[in-house]
Amino acid sequence: MKHSFRYIPIRRERSSDVQRGSMELWLSYIETSSKNQTPFMFYAVDADTGYGLKGAEFSLFQRDELVFGSYSNRSGAVWFPPLREGLYQLKEAKPPKQYIAEKEAFQMYVDYNGNICVEGVPAARFQAFHKRTSEQQASFSVVKYDIRTGKRLEGAVFQLCRNHVPIATSTSDADGFVQFHGLEEGVYQLNELCPPEGYMKVADTHIVVVANDGTVTIDGYAAEYASIGNKPILYDIFFQKQDELTGEPLEGAVFDLLQGGMVLYTAISNEKGEINFGSFTPGTYTLREQKPPAGYHMNEHEYTVVVAQDGMVTIDDMPVEYARISDKKEKEQITVRKYIQKLEPESGVMFQLSQDNVTIASAGTNKQGEAYFYDIKPGTYMLIQLTHDGQSTGEKHTVMIEENGTVTIDNQVTNTLEIQ
């Protein structure tokens, strides 16, 4: 049984924000029959070279009703879906960039058997010819950036070559853009001559292709998305921590490295007194001691660290290889030695030094059974042994420190108290 065939053209308003090259289907078929449906394809080409042109936009009308819109692809092909028998008008809505159409409107007929003719020419041989409006002049830009932070980089110098012969140079601006203008169709080579200050040079050669329609690709990708990153040149910041008098290495000193008032890194000296903050870019930094080693005074000095462009790193003008930062040892004014039977050292025993019932300092015995009290001001104090829960054991000793530094414990001139 034969099926009837009819169509209803549905007209839709085209959105103003539809981008160039978009394709919308305007023709809706119902109760379709494949017998009379014939797809239609032709080419938009350069009238002089015969090369296909990308980006030509076409509209197909029937009785002044828009039924379909399409555009040419990179090979110049323009495709329309199956069409029923009838008379159509093919109009070019927009030519490719830098081209004008030799003719903008064509009469097209689809017969009952599906044969298509355009202006009397079989569809298989039909081409829409275009003339160049002027010699193609293409432009492109790439973005220079820091691969670690994404920051745009100024001052990178690039050279553009054709057949490896230099034709232009360009320097990245404050926004990181490297720009080249007035390029003809062809293949070019792009190289970085000089990297931004403080960055490693990019050794790669990038291939730039300017197509006959003025589009530009870099290494096979659209130029508008091109970016080339640089690795920053990094240098190590380190120094040696030592005793001010003996020069012995000090473990456990905590230092901060700052820039612009912000702490970038914190490091602790190891058993050899070494502190290494790792690698940093050229610039000026501040070095500050956060915590001294146990038994040492805090070093209040702020050191200036300079990482030069040539890789020289200094701390207060001293090359880091020779930089030594010292701490002064606290004076041991009072030493308490705690023993159990047979003069065996007892560790973990807490002692408290108070003045007028106010706790001045506390200290616990180490593995050698010794507890230390440092830098106690002249005056009279009470030394109290504490229990494990922090209460007084009742054992108290009177400590007097003279202005000349003489220490008396329980009326004996000594700075050491032995308790069994």
Q: What is the pLDDT at residue 295? A: 78
The pairing of strands 86-94 and 105-110 is antiparallel
Average pLDDT of the residues in 339-362: 89
Q: CA–CA distance from 7 to each of 1, 33, 61, 80 (Å)?
A: 20, 10, 14, 16
Alpha-carbon separation of residue 91 from 88, 101, 173, 315 (angstroms): 10, 10, 44, 75
pLDDT, tens only, 112-140: 888 999 999 999 899 999 988 765 578 99
pLDDT at residue 286 in the model: 95
Q: What is the pLDDT of residue 340?
A: 83
235-243 β-sheet, strand order? 274-280, 235-243, 324-327
Average pLDDT for 173-196 = 93
Question: 186-224: per-residue pLDDT in tens?
Answer: 999 999 999 998 888 999 999 999 988 788 999 999 888
Which fold would CATH assign to domain 332-419? Immunoglobulin-like (2.60.40)
Q: Rounded to two decimals, what is the model's pTM?
A: 0.41
- Class of the 235-327 domain? mainly beta
CA–CA gap between residue 315 and residue 327 (Å, rounded): 16
With 70 as the cut, is the pLDDT of residue 364 above it? Answer: yes
Q: CATH 2.60.40.10: which residues of the chain? A: 6-132, 138-230, 235-327, 332-419
Q: For residue 401, is pLDDT > 50? A: yes
Level-2 CATH architecture, domain 6-132: Sandwich (2.60)
Q: Which residues contact 352 (CB under 8 A, 6 or more apart)?
A: 359, 361, 362, 383, 384, 386, 392
d(CA 249, CA 172): 48
Contact 334, 400 (CB under 8 A): no
Q: In this model, does residue 1 exceed pLDDT 50?
A: no
Per residue in 261-303, pLDDT (tens digit) is 999 999 999 999 999 998 898 899 999 999 999 878 889 999 9
Q: What is the CATH number of domain 138-230?
A: 2.60.40.10
